[in-house]
């Protein structure tokens, strides 16, 4: 987690050292180990250094290769160094920084170099001979990259705030993005500012005085399939790839930490990481968030099961009484935009705990669900292939698993847990088989009737939006496009997870809230090799005997306690967030609902907002913990509006 900046005057005008220095100064928190500049003629590059690997301690960035007239700045960790070194002619590799691998790859393969790299990276190369700047971002978008482009100037940075150091860049709001935020819909190219764009994950951009070429260099092969001889072969190959995904992210000059939630994903990363590190006799630090007053959110039982396997040094943050609005201005200052993750006030304090324990590198279990897939729509696959025996067996296995865990719903405050565990065999048959095979045109007719009858809501309900704003924007057209062609088969569903869900946005948010604490978070499940393998294997390796993520569970049997490896239900972290927002922020909420500062009336239907707030207040006997699904939706809608309001207020925007 270093930082990069750059300016290229396409018209040939000179760049002053003061311009790039102002950009670097905005990102000083990213460079506790140094800040450097390179400036010549119409190009300037900047770098802010956070040492993470042994090689980075001696790394000099920006780096100029005078022989080939190339200059690079990069925030990168390259994971396939061993494979690349002989191909690129690199020797003494233990001393070669990651940026050197990128530069040599560019020399060999030109603008196709990104295809050859594995790891997390955002970089820019000034190619003086060809008078162009070439930039690229890693396959999933772990490393952030924002840019501004006009006929005169191309500028880029790791954070938006650095771009605002240039006076020509406007703060004008991108109103389509505001609407998407209120509907909890993601977009991987735009920002909340019209002048500033995201470089999407798995894309490169090449800029010269006359042309701009934005291109995708990687995506999943929709048709890829991996066929092996036995279940054991699949499990062994998964374990090999997963272990390597963890191992290559352990390269560090500092103590390693692991986020440990007690869930299957983070526990798998921590236990495999411990196995690798113990071979080197390094310490293994874990960091957890606990809720002792909320049984539905308390993961301490599962966390302790992992800790008790030995050789972990555990640290915990108790989050029962943290308001979702604590430190919100600091977080918005770090993120530069509104955000949708309601746990961020907790994560802010969590990151401080990590920082205070001297840890710079943290491995997470981020989004194992998406990468491995829960086998969504598998029942549909079995139904349309007329595999009735297997279909009913899997429905029975799943129903039995639910029944065996139903005891948790009796004491639960969480409507999500209750809804999940109160499903019967016939509920599953309707939800997983009958509804998916209903033609889409008929669903559109039936859905409003069903929602009205059952008083349910959904995120993305446009009723929260001001009707004039909705009419004048392109939101309806945009939503129709992204919601078209819904997935049917489990393979299509898995593909859409990566085609239609910009994972980079959550990763950018994680990066933004980690940067002030000099923490680099690494995500083994987002390893490109693991993503491609999990996508290509048969769905029955992802869902089997009523268990989702089956292949991960089987691979982890020798690493995890049984109670963690084969746990069926996740804890729900919503109740403390929902209660604490009302408990600690009632005055602020009423100010927002009444729009006392006239900030949101342009975007939000205030009558609908008031109705959502009234319903939210009445939930759970007045404590704000929803006792209906629509109550959950109301609480989330209220949160999204609140964050937008505070951002507009902090930024001194008036509608």
| Binding-site residue positions for ATP | 289
Residue numbers belonging to the annotated binding site: 98, 289
Q: Are 405 and 568 in contact (CB under 8 A)?
A: yes
Residue numbers belonging to the annotated binding site for L-glutamine: 98
Nearest to 198 by CA among 155, 157, 147: 147
Which residues are within 8 A (CB) of 273 and not within 5 positions of it... i.e. 6 or more apart?
Answer: 246, 250, 256, 258, 284, 363
- How far is the C-alpha of 144 from the C-alpha of 15, rounded, in Å? 24
- How far is the C-alpha of 293 from the C-alpha of 57, rounded, in Å? 44
Which long-range contacts (C-beta less than 8 Å, at least 24 apart) are formed by 530-534? 530/241, 530/242, 530/245, 530/371, 531/139, 531/140, 531/220, 531/371, 531/498, 532/220, 532/221, 532/224, 533/226, 533/237, 533/238, 533/241, 534/238, 534/371, 534/372, 534/373, 534/494
- How far is the C-alpha of 417 from the C-alpha of 410, rounded, in Å? 10
Angle at 471 (CA atoms; ends 469, 472), nearest 5 degrees: 65
> What's the gap between Cα 403 and its chain centre?
33
**Matching residue, tokens 């409003």:** 448
Q: How far is CA 92 from CA 89, 144, 152, 312, 428, in A?
A: 10, 30, 42, 34, 58
- Provide the 3-class DSSP secondary structure of residue 406: coil
- On the question of a cis peptide bond just before residue 271, with omega within 30 degrees of 0, the verdict is no
354: exposed, middle or buried (Cβ count in 10 Å: 0-12, 13-18, 19+): buried
- How far is the C-alpha of 578 from the C-alpha of 582, rounded, in Å? 7
- How far is the C-alpha of 17 from the C-alpha of 15, rounded, in Å? 7
How many residues does this entry show for the chain? 655
């Amino acid at each position: 987690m270093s930082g990069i900046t750059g300016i290229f005057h396409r018209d040939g005008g000179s760049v002053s050292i003061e311009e790039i220095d102002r950009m670097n100064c905005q990102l000083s928190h990213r460079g506790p180990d140094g800040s450097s500049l390179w400036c010549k003629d119409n190009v300037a590059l900047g770098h802010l250094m956070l040492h993470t690997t042994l090689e980075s301690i001696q790394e000099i960035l920006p780096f100029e290769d005078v022989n080939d007239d190339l200059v690079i700045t990069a925030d990168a960790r390259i994971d396939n160094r061993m494979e690349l070194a002989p191909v690129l002619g690199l020797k003494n590799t233990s001393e070669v920084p990651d940026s050197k691998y990128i530069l040599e790859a560019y020399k060999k393969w030109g603008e196709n170099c990104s295809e050859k790299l594995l790891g997390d990276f955002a970089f820019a190369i000034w190619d003086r001979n060809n008078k162009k700047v070439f930039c690229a971002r890693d396959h999933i978008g772990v490393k952030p990259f924002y840019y501004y482009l006009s006929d005169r100037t191309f500028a880029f940075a790791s954070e938006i705030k650095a771009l605002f150091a240039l006076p020509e860049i406007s703060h004008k709001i991108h109103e389509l993005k505001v609407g998407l935020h209120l509907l909890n819909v993601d977009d991987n190219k735009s920002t909340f500012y019209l002048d500033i764009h995201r470089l999407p994950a798995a894309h490169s951009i090449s800029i010269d005085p006359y042309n701009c070429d934005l291109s995708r260099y990687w995506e999943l092969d929709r048709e890829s399939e991996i066929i092996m001889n036995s279940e054991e072969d699949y499990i062994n190959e998964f374990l090999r790839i997963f272990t390597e995904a963890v191992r290559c992210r352990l390269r560090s000059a500092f103590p390693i930490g692991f986020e440990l939630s007690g869930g299957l994903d983070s526990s798998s990363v921590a236990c495999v990481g411990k196995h690798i590190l113990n071979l080197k006799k390094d310490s293994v630090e874990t960091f957890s968030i606990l809720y002792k007053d909320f049984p539905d959110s308390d993961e301490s039982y599962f966390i302790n099961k992992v800790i008790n396997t030995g050789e972990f040094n555990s640290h915990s943050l108790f989050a029962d009484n943290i308001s979702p609005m604590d430190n919100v201005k600091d977080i918005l200052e770090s993120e530069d935009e509104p955000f949708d993750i309601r746990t961020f006030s907790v994560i802010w304090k969590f990151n401080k705990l990590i920082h205070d324990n001297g840890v710079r590198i943290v491995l997470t279990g981020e989004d194992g669900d998406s990468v491995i897939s829960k086998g969504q729509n598998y029942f549909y696959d079995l139904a349309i292939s007329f595999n009735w025996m297997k279909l009913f067996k899997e429905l029975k296995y799943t129903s039995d698993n639910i029944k065996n865990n139903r005891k948790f719903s009796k004491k639960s405050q969480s409507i999500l847990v209750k809804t999940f565990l109160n499903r019967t065999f016939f509920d599953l048959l309707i939800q997983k088989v009958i509804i998916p095979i209903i033609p889409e045109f008929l669903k559109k007719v039936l859905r409003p009737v069903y929602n009205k009858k059952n008083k349910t809501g959904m995120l993305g309900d446009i009723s929260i939006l001001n009707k004039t704003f909705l009419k004048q924007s392109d939101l309806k057209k945009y939503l129709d496009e992204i919601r078209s062609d819904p997935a049917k088969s489990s393979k299509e569903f898995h593909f859409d997870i990566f085609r239609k869900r910009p994972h980079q946005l959550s990763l950018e948010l994680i990066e933004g809230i980690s940067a002030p604490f000099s923490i680099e978070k690494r995500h083994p499940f987002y390893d490109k090799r693991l993503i491609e393998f999990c996508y290509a294997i048969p769905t029955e390796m992802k869902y089997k005997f009523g268990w989702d993520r089956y292949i991960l569970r089987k691979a982890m049997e020798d690493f995890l306690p049984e109670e963690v490896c084969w746990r069926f239900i996740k804890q729900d972290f919503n109740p403390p967030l929902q209660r604490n927002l009302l408990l600690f922020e009632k005055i602020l909420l009423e100010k927002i609902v009444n729009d006392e500062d006239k900030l949101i009336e342009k975007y939000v239907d205030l009558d609908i907002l008031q109705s959502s707030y009234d319903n939210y207040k009445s939930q759970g006997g007045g404590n704000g913990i929803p006792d209906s699904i629509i109550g959950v939706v109301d609480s989330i809608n209220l949160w999204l509006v609140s964050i937008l309001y505070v951002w507009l207020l902090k930024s001194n925007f008036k509608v």
